[in-house]
């Protein structure tokens, strides 16, 4: 009998890349992210946007991370984290080929960021796209704690979340909007209400990808 790898082990994801079995990879930046940050740029003149730090958790081949780094008007310093050595190797090759200076890729179990002081309150944004649905559902509270730990007060989780009944299993592991809000409610404020968006993962998942933004509460908020 073939032993099933745990989603909590790097080898599970490494094998996915080796086999080319990466259905979560849409080959481009998620349109919902482009739309949201394009609207921010419309509101603020170029000179008024300070340099901000962005973490892309489970960055994969870096499509979202490279969008934020290459858009000079956003003035972002970008950090991409992924479990897979192969994914990070690919991202670093693209980075070097295109001589992109304002991005770093780090091979790491992103849960380990909680234990390292240097990441505490470091980021203005965390980009969530196919990471929450990839982890074991038992680790969801810890994931929310991770987001709280690495974000500055007022920092934002800009996320695409996979919605479907948990009984269908995974990965990807679905969740329902009410439960997702319940997980975020203590330490975050929902500032852009969860809503379904166009899904590029194919008709099978259409209507199940929801966009929303949660801001980390200030200590007195």
Domain count, the chain: 1
**Is the per-residue pLDDT at 21 higher than 70?**
no
pLDDT on residue 14: 63
**Is the per-residue pLDDT at 2 higher than 80?**
no
For residue 5, tell me if it sits in a domain: no
CATH code at position 164? 3.40.50.150
- Which residue did the predictor score with more confidence, 185 or 5? 185
Contact call for residues 88 and 106 (beta carbons, < 8 A): yes
Q: What is the pTM of this model?
A: 0.86
Q: Summarize pLDDT for 57-89 with one digit per residue, the tens.
A: 999 889 999 999 999 888 899 999 998 888 899
pLDDT on residue 3: 41
The mean pLDDT value of the chain amounts to 84
- Which residue did the predictor score with more confidence, 24 or 94? 94
Contact call for residues 150 and 55 (beta carbons, < 8 A): yes
pLDDT on residue 11: 67
Segment holding 38, helix H or strand E:
helix 31-43
pLDDT on residue 220: 52
Q: How many residues are recorded in the chain?
A: 221
The residue segments making up the domain with residue 153 are 31-38+52-216
Lowest-pLDDT range of 8-12, 74-78, 179-183: 8-12
- For 171, other C-beta atoms within 10 Å of its C-beta total 18
**Whole-angstrom Cα distance, residue 32 to residue 27?**
14
For residue 56, tell me if it sits in a domain: yes
Among the listed residues 32, 33, 131, 133, the one whose alpha carbon sits nearest the alpha carbon of residue 87: 131
Distances (CA, A) of 68 to 17, 36, 86, 118, 122: 23, 12, 21, 22, 17
- Which residue did the predictor score with more confidence, 80 or 4? 80
pLDDT on residue 221: 44
For residue 6, tell me if it sits in a domain: no
């Amino acid at each position: 009998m073939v032993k099933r790898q745990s989603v909590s082990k790097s080898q599970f994801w490494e094998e996915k890349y080796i086999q080319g079995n990466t259905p979560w990879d849409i080959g481009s930046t998620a349109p919902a992210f482009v739309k949201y940050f394009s609207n921010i740029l419309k509101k603020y003149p170029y000179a008024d946007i300070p340099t901000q730090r962005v973490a892309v958790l489970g960055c994969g081949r870096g499509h979202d991370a490279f969008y934020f780094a290459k858009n000079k008007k956003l003035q972002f310093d970008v950090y991409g984290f992924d479990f897979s050595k192969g994914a990070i190797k690919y991202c670093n090759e693209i980075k070097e080929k295109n001589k992109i200076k304002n991005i770093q890729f780090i091979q790491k179990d992103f849960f380990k960021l909680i234990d390292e002081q240097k990441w505490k309150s470091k980021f203005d944004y965390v980009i969530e796209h196919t990471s929450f649905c990839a982890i074991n559902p038992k680790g969801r509270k810890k994931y929310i704690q991770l987001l709280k730990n690495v974000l500055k007060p007022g920092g934002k989780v800009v996320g695409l979340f996979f919605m479907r009944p948990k009984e269908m299993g995974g990965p990807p592991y679905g969740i329902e909007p009410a439960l997702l809000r319940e997980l975020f409610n203590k330490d975050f404020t929902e500032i852009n209400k969860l809503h379904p968006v166009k899904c590029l993962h194919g008709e099978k998942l259409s209507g199940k990808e929801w966009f929303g933004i949660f801001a980390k509460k200030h200590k007195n908020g």
